[in-house]
């Protein structure tokens, strides 16, 4: 009996989601350590939790060294490799949506169609789906941020309205007292 296949979707329960994040993060770090030990490669992994907490692993001397190496590779372009190698060597998170569309467009032109394997098409589809999910999550986050900002502004305006109403009510009361005082003075004079 094998384990049943887990459906990959967002975990709704917050505590279960945090536990899953912790376990899977530790599993990825373990795999990164094994990859660096077995293949003698520099590996860096950066994780940000939902609350923005940073987790990182780096087997090199410093994370900055690995990031600098990555940045120099990105700036230099493809390094002479063809599009298929570029797709395999770069994670979908680093390719922008427009880069993915250009890559897919160049791969699917008529002369190259026969050279593309099903695995390559699947990889391209995976990269496009990842980019689309990133775009959707960014859009959702921006919408939530805008909504919360508007709610904060609404609360602030309600407080200002309440404050101004108190000032207006206070000035009305002051006028009434003045009128009463004026009437009392007028009665004492007679």
Helix (H, G, I), strand (E, B) or coil at 59: coil
Of 3-7, 27-31, 89-93, 147-151, the least confident: 89-93
Cross-strand partners of 47: 55
The domains of the chain are located at 11-76, 80-190
Q: Is the pLDDT of residue 128 over 70?
A: yes
**Residue 127: CB partners within 8 Å, gap ≥ 6?**
87, 92, 95, 100
- Please tell me which residue, 45 or 186, carries the higher pLDDT value: 45
Residue in this structure with the two tokens 């101004």, named with its chain if needed: 164
- pLDDT of 190 above 90: no
Instruction: Name the CATH superfamily for 11-76.
Output: Transcription factor, MADS-box (3.40.1810.10)
Encode pLDDT of 48-100 as tens digits.
Answer: 888 888 888 888 777 878 888 887 777 776 544 544 444 444 444 455 656 66
The pLDDT value recorded for residue 93 is 47
Looking at the DSSP bridge assignments, the partners of residue 58 are 44
| Contact call for residues 69 and 78 (beta carbons, < 8 A) | no
Is the per-residue pLDDT at 32 higher than 70? Answer: yes
Distance CA(42)–CA(118), nearest Å, equals 30
């Amino acid at each position: 009996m094998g384990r049943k296949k887990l459906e990959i979707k967002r975990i709704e329960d917050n505590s279960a989601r945090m536990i899953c994040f912790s376990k899977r993060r530790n599993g990825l770090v373990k795999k990164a350590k094994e990859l660096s030990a077995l293949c003698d490669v520099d590996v860096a992994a950066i994780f940000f939790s939902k609350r923005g907490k940073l987790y990182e692993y780096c087997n090199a001397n410093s994370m900055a060294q690995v990031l600098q190496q990555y940045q120099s590779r990105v700036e230099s372009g493809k390094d002479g490799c063809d599009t298929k190698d570029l797709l395999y060597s770069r994670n979908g998170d680093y390719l922008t949506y427009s880069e993915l569309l250009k890559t897919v467009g160049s791969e699917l032109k008529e002369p190259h169609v026969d050279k593309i394997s099903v695995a390559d098409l699947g990889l391209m589809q995976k990269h496009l789906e990842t980019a689309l999910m990133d775009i959707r999550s960014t859009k959702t986050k921006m919408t939530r941020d805008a909504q919360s900002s508007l709610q904060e502004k609404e609360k602030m305006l309600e407080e200002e309205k309440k404050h101004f109403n108190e000032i207006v009510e206070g000035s009305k009361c002051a006028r009434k007292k003045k009128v009463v005082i004026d009437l009392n003075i007028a009665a004492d004079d007679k």
